[in-house]
Amino acid sequence: MAANPKTERRRVRCVINGREIDVWEGYRLWDAALDANARLWKWCGGEGLCATCAVVPVSGGENLSAPTKTENFSLALWFAKPLALVRRRWKGRGVRLACQSYVRGPVEVVGVLGKAGRTAREAAGIE
Ligand code: FES
């Protein structure tokens, strides 16, 4: 008997800060980053409050779930906080919070903060 394609979940490839991992469709990007040891920052523990897990999609950004209200609120604050001038360069680049994003298909992202993110951004030609 053939599996029902509507209910069949599939494995999808995630690349986070250059670290590759296959996860089940619907898996949280933040958890994939932890599993892949991608070294994303995560000050609030994945609650959507600190925005330190911010990532920029390199490819497949459309394969992430739609932003949550929490994500939209946190990113709006993040761009408005002190040092927002530093963050302005990320505006319009589809910044997402890994802890609020769920994987629907193959995706590659790089972290906005941290040494691992900087190295991955340089490798991807994003600055
Ligand atoms: S870990 Fe704090 S917003 Fe994602």
Q: Which residues of the chain have pLDDT under 50?
A: none
- Is residue 6 a part of any domain in this protein? no
pTM: 0.88
Q: Which atom of ligand 1 is nearest to the CA of 100?
A: 4
Task: Name which residue sits closest to atom 3 of ligand 1, judged by CA.
Answer: 48
- How many angstroms separate the CA atoms of 125 and 104, rounded? 25
pLDDT of residue 86: 60
Q: Is 119 left (phi over 0), alpha (psi -120 to 50) or beta?
A: alpha
Full domain range(s) for residue 38? 12-124
Helix, coil or strand: residue 72: helix
Domain count, the chain: 1
Supply the CATH number for residue 57's domain.
3.10.20.30
- Is residue 3 a part of any domain in this protein? no
- Nearest CA to 97 among 56, 47, 53? 53
- Is residue 1 a part of any domain in this protein? no
- Is residue 110 a part of any domain in this protein? yes
- Is residue 65 a part of any domain in this protein? yes
For residue 7, the CA-to-ligand 1 centroid distance in Å is 30
- How many angstroms separate the CA atoms of 24 and 40, rounded? 20
pLDDT of residue 93: 83
- Is residue 23 a part of any domain in this protein? yes
- pLDDT tens, residue by residue, 70-97: 999 998 888 776 666 666 777 778 899 9
